[in-house]
Amino acid sequence: METKEKTTGWTKSDTVYTFLVKDHGNVTFNRSKASAELLDFFLDYGIGRIFPDRTSQLKGLDKLEGMRKLIALAESGSKTLSIRETAEERQAREQTERYNDLIEAFRRFDGRDAVATDKAIATICERQKWGIEDNGVIALLGTQQLKGIYQNILLERKFEKAKPSDIDTSDIFGALSK
């Protein structure tokens, strides 16, 4: 019997859910990072539907980006999925995004995984006598080795909606050269 790979919907592996947005990619949610209050809400609603339903008015890349924002909020420890974030929720979401970006930057730089990235964060925090992990994340993202990679990650995220290669600008640049 032939099995077909899923192209839409969601799959689960341990505590990680992967949501597939047809023809546009996927986003993962690690339930171990969510608050107990939010998990109770998910159980009532249905964890396999919460992110897709909350972004049901969106399609394609907009849906993918909307789900990423909701998942970042959920993984930050927020007690709700309200987009109206408190300052603390926004700070936690931004820290989570930076941490995930650091893992991706190290993966692209030298293939380092999350465990090795955590060791690098711990090492720099210990050397600098920082008690806040985010200081180490920010410092590593600003190093000569990772800064350019991190900037590319941020640009890629911005260009997921409108890829410069997909936009015909010949008339704009042609007019400028006259």
* Under 8 Å between Cβ of 98 and 134: yes
Q: Where are the beta strands (DSSP E) in the chain?
A: 9-13, 16-21, 25-30
pLDDT tens by residue, 23-47: 778 888 888 888 887 777 776 666 6
Q: Provide the token pair at 55.
A: 């972004």
What pLDDT does residue 5 have? Answer: 56
Residue 164: pLDDT above 60? no
* Under 8 Å between Cβ of 19 and 52: yes
Is 30 in a helix, a strand, or coil? strand
What are the boundaries of each domain within the chain? Answer: 1-84, 86-166
- Average the pLDDT over each of 6-15, 84-93, 109-118, 140-149 and give the range with the smallest value: 84-93
Q: Residue 69: exposed, middle, or buried by beta-carbon count in 10 A (0-12, 13-18, 19+)?
A: middle
Residue 163: pLDDT above 60? no
Report the C-alpha gap between 2 and 114 in whole angstroms. Answer: 34
Q: Across all residues in the chain, what is the average pLDDT?
A: 79
